């Protein structure tokens, strides 16, 4: 087999190098545009959970929940500003993901949404916040209409934490044995219990360690 023409090899290398450089430039431009949008439309995102500016318009944290009726849970959230708000009810909107684990060893990846009041400044301490989340498996979310479990929270920022309660949603989402309520349990009557939750900015590793401890108590 004859070797490739040197000129052809040079053109191919040039194309690969040029395409790679163009891709990097496009990615950098996209990041700059996104960063500018956050700065213009949701500057408060750079102050989530903090009294001082931080480089990324997002916040993450986790906490534990104990219900006398449906057991123990741990919840990790990652939130950021959302630009897909309602024009009818203006506000400062949030989006993101959440991960919920139970003492039964079940683990749920969830879509998260929520909001705060409109026209926020850079000081969010004491601001009220609402969050909702529902099951959103990474591979099957678009193929099933069942979004259970779904839970919601209301509370406020107490920097650097989010101090919330579930408004009874945990007891509506789970049965007394900790399994997900799927709508097929005759006579199901959720207990009226508000479960408190404090989300603190802590690591994913510590969250996973807690999930393991919940599922395998000593």
Per-residue pLDDT of 95-116, as tens digits, reads 999 999 999 999 999 999 999 9
For the segment 166-201, what is each residue's pLDDT rounded down to a tens digit? 999 999 999 999 999 998 888 899 999 999 999 999
For the stretch 127-130, contacts whose Cβ atoms lie closer than 8 Å and that sit 24 or more positions apart, written own/partner, are: 127/156, 127/157, 128/154, 128/155, 128/156, 129/94, 129/154, 129/155, 129/156, 129/157, 129/162, 129/164, 130/154
pTM comes to: 0.85
Q: In the structure, how many helices (H) and strands (E) does the chain have?
A: 3, 8
Mean model confidence pLDDT for the chain: 87
């Amino acid at each position: 087999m004859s070797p490739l023409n040197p000129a052809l090899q040079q053109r191919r290398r040039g194309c690969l190098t040029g395409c790679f450089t163009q891709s990097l430039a496009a990615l950098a431009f996209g990041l700059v545009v996104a960063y500018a949008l956050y700065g213009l439309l949701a500057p408060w995102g750079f102050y989530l959970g903090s009294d001082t500016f931080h480089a990324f318009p997002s916040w993450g944290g986790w906490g534990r929940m104990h219900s006398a009726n449906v057991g123990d849970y741990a919840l990790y959230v990652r939130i950021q500003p959302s630009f897909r708000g309602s024009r009818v009810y203006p506000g400062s909107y949030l989006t993101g993901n959440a991960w919920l684990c139970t003492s039964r060893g079940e683990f749920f990846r969830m879509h998260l949404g929520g909001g705060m009041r409109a026209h926020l400044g850079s000081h969010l301490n004491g601001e009220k916040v609402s969050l909702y989340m529902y099951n959103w498996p990474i591979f099957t979310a678009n193929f099933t209409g069942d979004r259970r479990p779904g839970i919601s929270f209301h509370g406020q920022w107490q920097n650097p934490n989010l101090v919330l309660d579930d408004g009874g949603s945990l007891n509506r989402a789970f049965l007394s044995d900790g399994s997900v309520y799927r709508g097929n349990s005759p006579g199901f009557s959720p207990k009226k219990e508000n479960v408190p939750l404090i989300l603190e900015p802590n690591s994913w590793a510590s969250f996973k360690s807690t999930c393991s401890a919940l599922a395998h108590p000593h």
